[in-house]
A and B are shown apart, each in its own frame.
Chain A
Amino acid sequence: MASNKRMKGVSVTLPVYTYNFATPLTGKKSNDSDHTHKWSVGFKGFHGDLSFCIKKVVFRLHDTYPNPVRTIEQPPFELQETGWGEFEVLVKVYFHPSANEKAAQLYHHIRLHPYQDDPSGGPWPKDKPVTCFLYDELVFNEPTEAFYQILADNNVVGSSGLPLRKYTGKDYAVPPFSVQMEQEELDRLEKAQREVNQQILQLRQRRLALEQEKVSTN
């Protein structure tokens, strides 16, 4: 089958992110310590709903949940639950069979509590959901021809699908990832790298000087 042939030297990147939202519960149920928060966890990408390449997503919750293995076969790949504690969810992504790949595993730590102050300045309001987005990239090395075709058809090959600028609107469900953010991060890394290089140079000079002195005094 030609479609199962691997494309040598080709690598396709699919940017994705895992997310979770959490709102504290009010009402009679909040007295029960097991259900202080209502949260949802999900898996998304930047190229539509990703159903073209993802067959299903399996979320493995903490063992204290009944049936901790939850399978979602239709987009949106999201599930909702209630609970009281933060834990790590194993997100296993199964691909379209033409990819001939094993499932990718990502981890998402569920955030229930706000760790920062609200941007408005005061404490976090109770009805505003706490969000957590974790960006990642799925890299397909030497994909099969069929899968490559699928990815290409859906615009994954050429563009990253990221918005140019950071989202500043009101919708809390929109992730902050953008080309701008990437650039900022790159700049920070650049700066750090330059500092480190400078330090390295200084250290090298110092070492040279010390060694020369050592030789001369011997």
Chain B
Amino acid sequence: MNPRENTEQSLSVQKQSDSISRDIYALAGGAPPIAFVKPTFKAKYNTKQKAKSWIQQSFTNPARPDDLVLQHWIPEHKNNEEYTFAKFNRVIDVPEYTNEDYDKHLIDSDWSKKETDYLFQLCRRFDLRFPVIEDRYSFEDKYRTMEELKDRYYTVQRKLIKARPHIPGEYQQERQALIQQYAFDKRKETERKEALIGLFNRTKEQVEQEEALFVEARRIELNEPRLSREREALLNALQLEQAQQAPPAPLTPTTASSSNTTTTNAIGVVNGNATNASAGGSLSTPGGIGIAGGTASTGGLDNKKKKRMEESGTGPAAVAAAGSGSSINNSGANKKNRRISNASSGILEDVVPERKEKMIQGVYVRSQKLPVVTKQALQQKLLKSMADLDIPVRPMMPTNQIVQKYDILHHSLLHMLELKKNVDKLEAEHRTKKGQTARKQPPTAGAGPRDKRRKQG
């Protein structure tokens, strides 16, 4: 005790003098695990209890076959009790069969009587622990797998149960149930074991592959309802598009006529001018016809324009609409109409984005929905272009049509600016290339006439 007290004292003294905060100590690696420190609790000897008396007793173990007498010390009150460890001698009931039984029921081509007897002996000895039995099995150098052993054992069991004479008071079901107990399918069991062995021996890559596949499968399963819905929607949309796109030509005139006489006039003029398109200019794209037609027809419509001004002024608007999309103010059918003509028009198709048909509920101020450019440089260019065209940044009267036109113009301008940038780049390349080839010209100029002479000669 004294040495320990000393060390305790020295420890506490140490702590006082070299004390650094616990956190800092932890930073420097900290204290070693406490396990190395001796536990300070010591059970003190209980002197208050009275001493118990113990007797030396001789006993026999009922589990033993012989009558061996041994002696042991037991506390007095446990005298005359059964030996505590005898109860652990459990024996498994491995049924026995006589020779007649064997000859009658248990003859097997693969198993001799001797081997079967040997097997049963082992079963009894090892308490039906088949792994041990398989391991210890050495009958005439015959190697038996565990499945074979089990199979033989259970077959014997079943046959014995079947062969047993009818016991009074026994039901057929009971016997059946008993037989069921010993059902053993050798083939299945062998397969199962092989599968398990394969599973056990998988390499790391295989395990990871399996993991990944499983995760995929589960993900697909979870998303199944959503995916199938999307697929449905897509199919529907495609079908709808097909149905709409199929008759674009007849549709535009008919719906247009439903709204305005000027519109039909306009489109009639457009179609009429299709032939003039080639005369009007070198326009190869089909959409170009729409535009050229538009230009030509508005010229013709100018006089009619002032008369029809009262009717929501869609005349020239509709002409452009033939190319870009109707801007008539009926919902539903006209919106579809617009989409169709957008699909069939040429130039402005890739310029103007597909109009979102969804209507957002609520009130809004129209002028606040004018298109806005985010990039500073682009905005400057755009404003300059608008100024060149004599268009104010904010329209004086932002009505539905005007705002739509602003939108289209905005997109067209952006498109035009991009084209300009492209063309400038190409021109620059072109010029540099020309400069390069021009430099190469003088040296090869002399070779020309020489070549000619060679060819002639």
Contacts and interface: CB of A to CB of B under 8 A. Distances in A.
Interface of A: 6, 9-11, 13, 15, 95, 99, 101-102, 104-106, 135-142, 160, 164, 177, 179-183, 185-197, 199-201, 203-207, 210-211, 213-214, 217
A205 B430 CA distance: 15
A101 B347 contact: no
Contact of A210 (B331, B386, B423): B423
A153 B101 CA distance: 108
A141 B359 contact: yes
A179 B310 contact: yes
B60 interface: no
B317 A186 contact: yes
B447 to A, nearest CB: 19
20 contacts: A9-B359, A15-B399, A136-B366, A136-B367, A142-B362, A164-B310, A177-B396, A179-B313, A180-B309, A186-B317, A186-B405, A190-B298, A193-B409, A196-B412, A200-B351, A201-B283, A201-B288, A201-B347, A203-B416, A203-B420
Contacts of A214: 426, 429-430, 433
A11 B360 CA distance: 10
B298 A137 contact: no
Given A194-B294, A201-B283, A188 B367 contact: no
Given A106-B365, A186-B402, A193-B412, 12 more contacts: A182-B313, A182-B397, A182-B399, A189-B402, A189-B409, A192-B390, A193-B320, A200-B347, A200-B351, A201-B283, A203-B419, A217-B437
Contact of A196 (B288, B416, B422): B416
Contacts of A15: 399
Nearest to A210: B426
Contacts of B294: 194
B186 interface: no
Contacts of B416: 196, 199-200, 203
A15 B398 CA distance: 9
Contacts of B310: 164, 179
Nearest to B413: A196
Given A196-B412, A210-B430, A136 B398 contact: yes
Contacts of B420: 203
Interface in B307-352: 309-310, 313, 316-317, 320, 331-332, 347-348, 351
Interface in B381-423: 386, 389-391, 395-402, 405-406, 408-409, 412-413, 415-416, 419-420, 422-423
B270 interface: no
B117 interface: no
A203 to B, nearest CB: 4
Contacts of A179: 309-310, 313
A39 B54 CA distance: 119
B347 A137 contact: no
B295 interface: yes
B362 A141 contact: yes
A197 B430 contact: no
Contacts of A196: 389, 409, 412-413, 416
B364 interface: yes
B133 interface: no
Q: Binding site of A, secondary structure by majority: helix, strand, loop or mixed? A: helix
A11 B331 contact: yes
A142 B413 CA distance: 32
Given A11-B331, A186-B317, A206 B423 contact: yes
A210 B432 CA distance: 13
Given A141-B361, A179-B310, A185-B395, A192 B419 contact: no
Most central of A181, A185, A204 by chain B CB within 10 Å: A185
Contacts of B397: 135, 177, 181-182, 185
Contact of B405 (A9, A193, A210, A217): A193
A194 B405 CA distance: 12
Nearest to B282: A205
Contact of A200 (B283, B295, B386, B415): B415
Contact of B362 (A102, A190, A194, A206): A102
B331 A197 contact: no
A181 B415 CA distance: 29
B266 interface: no
Contacts of A189: 391, 402, 405-406, 409
Contact of B426 (A9, A105, A211): A211
A195 B400 contact: no
A38 to B, nearest CB: 26
Interface string B278-319: 000011000010010011001000000000011001001100
B427 interface: yes
A9 B358 CA distance: 9
B177 interface: no
A11 B363 CA distance: 9
A213 B389 contact: no
